[in-house]
């Protein structure tokens, strides 16, 4: 039986490969289709697994804290909601036809669906395209009448389901019991700021067509990063701005440190082109542009910088700096996107690993993202402490590899909800 199945699979792969080659000859423009079909012919080689251990994979969602996910990615309506809406709509329409009662077993999906429908732009688009969305009675108002047998027959006492209670407090308490608390070092140069008024307009982030309030906060963020980097840098140093975007950090560095070479690493061509245009307008000759993923960069450098590198991108930047034995000044962002990867596992430091499991560390990461100004002050404070703990783990992991590292808060903290900096220097 197994031999027949293997034989059938072999015949199927041959047919796919023959069809692929014929299609590519008949239609040279079907390169994407050819590539897609060719993947069906290499199923014998098992993919290299990066799955988590069984005790992590089996963790129930109910064991994790509920978050303020009003929309798909958090508190704000984003493109992700737009992409998901038609897919979820068709799914709910089909489910309603086949098994209407099943819809009431999906309160999170239907809750998100109804919240998206309340967005004015979605309503406007639906009216223009004559799309009829579904509407559900409130979940709490739907009750099932008990049957006669259930009224007369004794029922076993229902065991309440064990949910995760207390948000991140149990995890934070566990760390505290082991002598671990968020530790923020004093800012090395809190009063050192850039005189933006004396600089050309193209140097300022306001040149990037952002609102005046956002431009001010961006200037404050740059004040923090550049003051630390300027004190580190020496003439002839090479400084790499990882995840450079439109060059807000790199361009100012190149202008203020003409004796240093500045390299901008960015994988988005459009962002890098904007940075190059601004640089050309300033006549900078000590700046270079590389379009690539940050882990593809293999050059030598002295200092690595990253402003709001999302999720594990911060850890990738730190890793690049450690490999090059370079100092680093990074401002993390999007802690909720942190997860184990092929190269990095969490927690990273031995001390955190001895106390927390991966799941407990992910609880800290999730709540570290809850620092938005719209949230209550108490929750923002918890989020700040969670940020501090996650970054403390990063700092200690760097120290295990021969670095001196510290976690610092930007001044003023209102310059960004993600206002932590991790500063590391290799030991002499």
pLDDT digit string, tens, across residues 217-264: 999 999 999 999 999 999 999 999 999 999 999 999 999 999 999 999
Low-confidence ranges of the chain (pLDDT < 70): 1-69, 75, 137-166, 207-209
Whole-prediction pTM value? 0.65
Whether 203 and 312 map to the same domain: the answer is yes
For residues 330 and 185, membership in a common domain is answered with: yes
How many CB atoms are located within 10 Å of the residue 201 CB? 11
- 324 and 396 in a single domain? The answer is yes
pLDDT of residue 128: 85
Predicted confidence at residue 103, as pLDDT, reads 83
Give the domain extent around 330: 171-426
pLDDT of 119 = 86
Same domain flag for 109 and 201: no
**Do 123 and 182 fall within a single domain?**
no
Contacts of residue 193, defined as CB under 8 A and 6 or more positions apart, other chains included, come to: 223, 227
What's residue 249's pLDDT?
96
Angle between helices 248-256 and 212-232 (to 10 degrees): 50
Q: What φ, ψ does residue 266 adopt, rounded to 5°?
A: -155, 135
The per-residue pLDDT for range 404-428, each reduced to its tens digit, is 999 999 999 999 999 999 999 999 8
221/328 same-domain check: yes
Helix axes 107-117, 79-98, angle to 10 degrees: 120
**pLDDT of amino acid 168:** 92
| Final residue of a structural domain among 93, 125, 140 | 140
**3-class secondary structure, 360:** helix
- Is there a domain that residue 10 lies in? yes
Residue 73's pLDDT is 74
- Decide if 108 is inside a domain: yes
- Cis ω before 155 (30° cut-off from 0): no
Domain check: are 224 and 263 in the same one?
Answer: yes
Give yes or no: residues 325 and 410 share one domain. Answer: yes
Euclidean distance between CA atoms 58 and 37, whole angstroms: 33
- Residue 4: the pLDDT is 53
Specify whether the CB–CB gap between 249 and 194 falls below 8 A: no
At 272 the pLDDT is 94
**Is the same domain home to 378 and 418?**
yes
| Whole-number pLDDT of residue 54 | 58
**Are the C-beta atoms of residues 229 and 303 closer than 8 Å to each other?**
yes
Query: Are both 331 and 270 inside the same structural domain?
Result: yes
The number of distinct structural domains making up the chain is: 3
- Decide if 369 is inside a domain: yes
Residue 131 shares a structural domain with residue 191: no
pLDDT at 64: 53
């Amino acid at each position: 039986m197994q031999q027949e199945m293997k034989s059938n699979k072999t015949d199927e792969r041959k047919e796919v490969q023959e069809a692929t080659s014929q299609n590519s000859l008949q239609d040279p423009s079907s390169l994407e289709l050819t590539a897609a079909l060719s993947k069906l012919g290499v199923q014998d080689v098992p993919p290299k697994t990066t799955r988590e251990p069984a005790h992590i994979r089996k963790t129930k969602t109910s064991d994790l804290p509920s978050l303020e996910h009003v929309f798909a990615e958090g508190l704000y309506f984003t493109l992700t909601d737009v992409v998901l809406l038609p897919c979820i709509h068709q799914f709910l329409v089909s489910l309603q036809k086949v098994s209407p009662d099943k819809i009431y077993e999906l309160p999170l999906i239907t809750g998100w669906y109804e919240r998206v429908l309340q967005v004015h732009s979605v309503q406007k688009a639906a009216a223009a395209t004559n799309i009829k969305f579904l509407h559900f009675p409130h979940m709490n108002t739907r009750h099932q009448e008990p049957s006669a047998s259930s009224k007369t027959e004794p029922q076993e006492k229902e065991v309440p389901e064990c949910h995760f209670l207390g948000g991140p407090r149990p995890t934070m308490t566990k760390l505290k019991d082991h002598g671990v608390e968020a530790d923020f070092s004093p800012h090395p140069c809190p009063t050192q700021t850039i005189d933006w008024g004396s600089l050309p307009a193209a140097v300022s982030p306001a040149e990037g067509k952002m609102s005046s309030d956002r431009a001010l906060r961006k200037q404050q963020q740059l004040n923090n990063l550049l003051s630390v980097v300027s004190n580190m840098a020496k003439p002839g140093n090479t400084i790499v701005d990882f995840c450079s975007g439109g060059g807000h950090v790199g361009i100012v560095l190149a202008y203020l440190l003409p004796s240093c070479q500045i390299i901008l690493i960015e994988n988005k061509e459009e962002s890098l082109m904007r940075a190059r245009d601004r640089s050309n307008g300033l006549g900078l000759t000590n700046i270079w542009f590389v379009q690539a993923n940050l882990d593809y960069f293999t050059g030598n450098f002295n200092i690595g910088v990253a402003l709001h590198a999302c999720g594990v991108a911060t850890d990738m930047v730190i890793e690049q700096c450690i490999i090059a034995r370079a100092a680093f000044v990074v401002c993390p962002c999007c802690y909720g996107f942190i997860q184990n990867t092929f190269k990095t596992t969490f927690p990273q430091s031995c001390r955190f690993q001895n106390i927390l499991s991966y799941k407990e560390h992910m609880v800290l990461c999730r709540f570290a993202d809850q620092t938005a100004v719209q949230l209550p002050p108490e929750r923002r404070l918890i989020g700040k402490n969670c940020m501090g703990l996650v970054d403390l783990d990063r700092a200690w992991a760097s120290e295990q590899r021969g670095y001196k590292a510290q976690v610092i808060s930007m001044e003023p903290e209102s310059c960004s909800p993600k206002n932590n900096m991790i500063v590391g220097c290799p030991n002499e």
